[in-house]
Structure 1
Amino acid sequence: MPPRYGSASGDAAPPPTAATRDGMLRGRRVGAVRAFTGIPYAAPPVGPLRFRAPQPVRPWSQEREATGFGHPCPQSNPDHPAWLDAVPSAEDCLTLNVWAPDRDSEKPRPVLIWFHGGAFAWGSAGAPVYDGARLADVGDLVVVSVNHRLNIFGYLWLGDALPQLKGDANPGHQDLVAALRWVRENIAAFGGDHRNVTLFGESGGGAKIGALLATPAAEGLFHKAIIASGSQRRVATREEAGAVASAAIRALDVPMDDLGALQELPAERLVEAATTVQNALGLLAFQPVVDGDILPAQTWDPGLPDGARDIPMIIGANRHEAVVFLPDMAKPIATDRELQQRILGFELLPPMDPQTVNTLVHGYRQSMPQASRLDLLVAITSDLWMRHAAWIQADRKTADPRTPVFFYDFAWGTPCFGDRWALHSGELPFVFGNLDHPTAWDGQDDDALRARDDPAGERHVLAEQMMRAWAAFARHGDPSTPGLPWPGYDAEKRSTMVFARGATHAVSDPDGRRRDLMAGLPTSW
């Protein structure tokens, strides 16, 4: 008889336990799921371990409580309050969380590992919307989420000033690899299959996955990948990262070659310096760097990284990505000149010249003849900022036919900023099944408003479709389900699954004209 994983629970069932290689854990039950949170996967990166590669956890002999989330990395987080983690930040942040169904299974379950967004600067696996219990239950999966070092703590390039740190480059990126190794070594204790691991991440989390696909140390540690609104084409060069490091050192007023002094600074000073640098140099000032060792070459530029060739992928983006970050959404746009200025002034776009913007406005107006100027603003900035890079990444993935790629467009419009918009990260409550989580970044969102906007409860149907598609992909490498066949994406048909109100459906090349208008233009990522 095959081994069975999990155990049925009753009202009087004792707390669940799990025996990891580092020691015994005691978790808690959340409905039909066992939850283990705040599990250390590497030693606290403090004191002499600051800016160093992650080191092994010190094992424990007594049963360890795993019922509270770990600390997020120190950060300055500008997100809407509903998206924040209530746990205070701290440098001791290398922890992960595991949710597993509390019922028998005759074989190990697929594993889904979540990397949160926030570029490489902020965010936390403990944010309420990322709770993995519902997804684990509906998908019959083991769900893992990871905290790691961010901003200056995880991505300050010191390799040129301190050659002794050669093997410590990209410590925040190496944290992710350490978490994947922990999963390989320990996930069987939670009923998970280390031979069937899928990464999924949104925004910065998707970009982290894109970089892991170009990281030799991560090869073999995961087998499928889902990149949502995070198709970063390239990471920093040493020269670019060196300029960021110089700016950070000036803000800290500490010699760059004095590692001891840098390790002794209060964490608050580092957060202040990181914020100063990001305000001056942009959101992606701190990010992975092509150091020649951990990341030996560029990631998705000029083509598909070798590590992505044998990895089935889902890639996608949301219809109105830029709405969250566009200023003055309630302000009418009276003329095309004002529309042009609003596009050129959007700080998340790559450098653009007025003539290029005029050409885009003319082309988009032809492809969207009923669109208002506000609609055109949202479409052009959303495509330039996020969707253009997703199209490029999907096309590059098709260059190797050995493994499939599937593409989606999330189009569920949430009432906010004066209209219905499918905005950045708006798909996450659906993917995790946490529909009671506010999705409107303007703060105008609660259960009553959601019910009034969706009296038929279509959002619950859509959430089930997305969770089951993600689970099917994690299980088999194909997101098709009995009620929702999902054709693969290729350079000819560009089949796209549109998650929308009314009826989710697959369509061939739904934004072909817009994609063609983007051809040859730079991407924000």
Structure 2
Amino acid sequence: MRTRYGRVKGEQTGAVRSFKGIPYAAPPVGADRFRAPRAPQPWTGVRNATVPGHPCVQDNPDFPAWLDPEPESEDCLHLNVWTPASCTGDAKARPVMLWIHGGAFGYGSAGAPTYDGARLAEVADVVVVSVNHRLNVFGYLWLGDAVPELAEHANPGQRDLVAALHWVRENIGAFGGDPGNVTAFGESGGGAKINALLAAPSARGLVHKAIVQSGSQLAVLTREQANEVTDATFAALGGGKFTESRLRKLSSEELKQAARTVESKLSMLAFQPVVDGCFIPDQTWTGHAPAGSRGIPMMIGTTSHETAVFLPGMTDQIDTDTELRQRFDTFGLAPTLSDDEFARLLAGYRRAMPSDTRLELLVAMTTDLWMWHSALIQAELKQSTPGPVYFYEFAWRTPCFGSSWAVHAGELPFVLGNLTYPTAWDGSDSDAARSADDPTGQRFVLADRMMHAWGAFARSGDPSTADLAWPAYNTRTRPTLVFDRGSASVVSDRNASRRHLIEGLPTVW
């Protein structure tokens, strides 16, 4: 296969051809550390494209399903392509789906086993691209005030994604993809990165549709907030005055350790995009949808129990309201509430969920306030711009934590069709447990339905299929497509009583 920069050789498995580890930009090392990405150097001969590129240097606390076996490196600007085997031999250009991995803005990799794009490419008849980019301190440290010569290079991790989109526009036709029909889709931090891309003028015209899965972040850092993170990072690196030259001399390990220190002190979300006035000129989804979302059809959704994977003791009962409040406060991604506010909120959830345990109430409250609230607001903001928006909830309960929860990232194996994968979530969600939990194989039916819906949306901007009528979201009836065991059905104003309880409360995402 010939790209603009040289020829690549992939491999074919069944009905899909894959090309992995293709450089879409020059290695961001040496003089290019913390700078905007440059075009890759052309190569001669044929480049082997059978192994994914390196993930960015990071601390990844996840379970094996989300871990990339390749060694980490600052030389991480590579992407992978999966295309139906017939795709390059016919005249029909397929929709392109660009996968952006999660892990907040600090960790993760396109090379994780669960993110393999072959099954989605085959079932949905699309070209799937996944991308690695700079993360944490390497991609999201604001240096524009402390090191002024780097101000024009702000948000390098997001600029990497724009560079990948440019690569897609220039090269994907050779792989059978349509450069004029690109859907960016991502989960958690991946969805948040898409939200920030839609606020970046340099990304306009490169993304034609967007899918935000459990990632409806409504605001990124201001310069003032980002400078606090910068100060903490410099302190972790020994303090004193930092210049670009000094930053270049630091080892990857020194920077990684500094990121670890800052995240433990401030937040796992300490490093993230910044409103720099140039690459991101204005706040992203605060009060209005960004101009870059105009004309872009969107899908937005969450899982039913987002926070179950983050709260400790998910198989332990909660004996008192005092303990419930303590666990609510230590979650970290719920808003700070006064005693009176919390008491009113808890009383309201008890009325809405009268038969639920305190643990179930805790999961519902934190899920709604962290992720669902932001997703609803984003869907409503999108209503003010051209381009429809579709809303979903993923309700399949995995075997983890006693098969009680539809957890954060639970939809990923279904959307990407990878239902055989290493241990995830609580360390006991195994292939054997999943098979025992679903002896009739309903998960394969649901995965097929979801892949066809995601593919239909990428093709036309409407996720409806022959056996799935999915109406666009509106604030009158609030239709939500609920994906659950053995079913996929539209529910109007799902959990309306809970929605009324959280309206007006601050968002944290």
The TM-score with structure 2 as length reference comes to 0.98
Query: Aligned runs of 1:109-124 on 2, under 5 Å?
Result: 109-124=94-109
In the other structure, the counterpart of 1:468 is 452
Unaligned runs of 5+ in 1: 1-17
SS of the residue 1:199 aligns to: strand
Contact 1:414 1:439 (C-alpha < 8 Å) held by counterparts: no
- C-alpha separation between the residues in 2 aligned to 1:218 and 1:50? 22
Asked if 2 retains the 8 angstrom alpha-carbon contact of 1:210 and 1:231, the reply is yes
Q: State the match for 2:318 in structure 1.
A: 333
Q: Is the 8 A contact 1:26 1:67 kept in 2?
A: yes
Counterpart of 1:145? 130
Structure 1 pair 486/253, CA: closer, same or farther in 2 (3 Å)? same
Q: Do structure 1's residue 136 and structure 2's residue 121 form an aligned pair?
A: yes
Q: Shift of the alpha carbon at 1:440?
A: 4.3
* Residue 414, structure 1, aligned to residue 391, structure 2: no
Partner of 2:15: 32
The letter for the 2-side match of 1:101 is P
Structure 2 counterpart of 1:202: 187
Give the C-alpha shift of residue 273 in structure 1. 0.2
In the alignment, residue 425 of structure 1 is paired with which amino acid? A
Shift of 1:331: 2.1
Match of 2:483 among 499, 502, 514: 499
CA contact 1:254–1:261 (8 Å) conserved in 2? no
How far apart in 2 are the matches of 1:60 and 1:206? Answer: 33
CA distance in 2, matches of 1:406, 1:439: 31
The separation in 1 between residues aligned to 2:341 and 2:380, in whole angstroms, is: 23
Of residues 31, 50, 74, the one that matches 2:33 is 50
Give the Å deviation of 1:282. 0.4
Match of residue 372, structure 2, among 384, 387, 394:
387
Q: 2:438 aligned with 1:457, yes or no?
A: no
Match of 2:254 in 1: 269
Q: Distance in 1 between matches of 2:406 and 2:92?
A: 38
Following superposition, the deviation at residue 408 of structure 1 comes to 0.1
Alignment of 1:203-282 (within 5 A): 203-253=188-238, 255-282=240-267
Alignment-derived partner of residue 5 in structure 2 = 22
Determine the C-alpha separation between the residues in 2 that align with 1:391 and 1:56. 38
**Cα separation, 2, equivalents of 1:72 and 1:256:** 30
Kept after mapping to 1: 8 A contact 2:65/2:424: no
Mapped to 1, the partners of 2:444 and 2:250 lie a distance apart of: 48
Q: Does 1:74 align with 2:60?
A: no
List per-residue Cα deviations over 1:7-35 (Å, max 9, x = no partner). Answer: xxxxxxxxxxx100000000011221010
**Contact 2:446–2:486 (Cα < 8 Å) also in 1:** no
SS class of match (2:247): helix
Question: d(CA) in 1 for partners of 2:360 and 2:90?
Answer: 49
Following superposition, the deviation at residue 257 of structure 1 comes to: 3.5
Mean CA deviation greater in 256-265 or 108-117: 256-265
Indicate conservation of the 8 Å contact 2:302/2:375, yes or no.
yes
Q: In structure 2, do the counterparts of structure 1 residues 256 and 382 end up closer, same or farther at CA, with 3 Å as the change threshold?
A: farther
1:429 is the counterpart of 2:413: yes
Percent pairwise identity: 60
Cα distance change, pair 246–124 in 1 and its aligned pair in 2 (3 A): same
- Establish whether residue 96 from structure 1 lines up as the match of residue 44 from structure 2: no
- Contact preservation (8 Å) 2:398, 2:429: no
Q: Say which of 469, 478, 493 aligns to 1:485.
A: 469
* Number of aligned residue pairs: 507
User: Following TM superposition, by how much is the alpha carbon of 1:146 offset from its aligned partner in structure 2, in angstroms?
Assistant: 0.5
SS in 2 for 1:314: strand
Of residues 508, 511, 515, the one that matches 2:492 is 508
**Is 1:518 matched with 2:502?**
yes
Shift of 1:438: 4.4
Q: CA deviation at 1:180?
A: 0.3
Q: Any gaps of 5 or more consecutive residues in structure 2?
A: none
Q: 2:399 aligns to what SS in structure 1?
A: strand
Deviations, residues 346-366 of structure 1 (Å, cap 9, x unaligned) = 122232222222111111111
Query: Does residue 178 of the first structure (1) align with residue 163 of the second (2)?
Result: yes
Matched-pair contact (CA < 8 Å) for 1:426–1:439:
no
Q: CA deviation at 1:67?
A: 0.5
Q: After the TM superposition, which of the residue ranges 495-504 and 356-365 deviates more from structure 2?
A: 356-365
Asked whether the equivalents of residues 385 and 523 of structure 1 are also in contact (C-alpha less than 8 Å), the reply is: yes
1:321 to 2:306 alignment: yes
Shift of 1:276: 0.4
- Using the TM superposition, give the Cα deviation of residue 386 of structure 1 relative to its aligned residue in structure 2, in angstroms: 1.1
C-alpha contact (below 8 Å) 1:432/1:467 kept by paired residues: yes
Q: Distance in 2 between matches of 1:128 and 1:487?
A: 33
SS at match of 1:226: strand
Question: CA separation in 1, counterparts of 2:276 and 2:373?
Answer: 27
Amino acid at match of 1:70: G
User: Cα offset for 1:439?
Assistant: 6.6
Whole-angstrom distance in 2 between the partners of 1:440 and 1:93: 24
Is the Cα–Cα contact under 8 Å of residues 415 and 440 in structure 1 kept in the other structure?
A: no
Give, in angstroms, the shift of residue 447 of structure 1: 2.6
Do the aligned partners of 1:184 and 1:221 also contact (CA within 8 Å) in 2? yes
| Secondary structure of the structure 2 residue equivalent to 1:113 | strand
Once the 2 structures are TM-superposed, how far is the Cα of residue 459 of structure 1 from its aligned partner? 0.4
Q: 1:256 Cα deviation (Å)?
A: 4.4
* Post-superposition CA distance 1:231-285 (Å, at most 9, x none): 0000000000011001000111254441111111110000000010011110111
Distance in 2, matches of 1:324 and 1:331, equals 13
Between the aligned partners of 2:266 and 2:419, the Cα distance in structure 1 is 36
After TM superposition, which residue ranges in structure 1, 4 or more long, deviate above 4 angstroms? Answer: none
2:208–2:297 CA contact under 8 A, matched in 1: yes
Structure 1 residue 521, shift from structure 2 partner: 1.2
Q: Is the 1:233–1:389 contact (alpha carbons within 8 Å) kept by the matching residues of 2?
A: yes
Partners of 2:430 and 2:316 lie apart in 1 by 24
Q: Which amino acid aligns with 1:280?
A: K
**Partner of 1:288 in structure 2?**
273
- AA in 2 matched with 1:240: Q
Provide the residue aligned with 1:361 in structure 2. Answer: 346
Cα distance in 1, alignment partners of residues 337 and 202 from structure 2:
37
Q: Distance in 1 between matches of 2:413 and 2:276?
A: 36
Secondary structure of 2:404's partner?
strand
- 8 Å CA contact 1:498–1:505 kept in 2: the answer is yes
Deviation string 1:305-335 (CA, Å, 9 cap, x unpaired) is 1111210000000000001110111221112
In structure 2, distance between residues paired with 1:76 and 1:230: 21
Aligned Cα root-mean-square deviation (Å): 1.1
CA contact (8 A) 2:64 2:423 kept: no
Counterparts of 1:516 and 1:374 in 2: how far apart (Å)? 21
Does residue 159 (structure 1) correspond to residue 144 (structure 2)? The answer is yes
Shift in Å, 1:83: 1.5
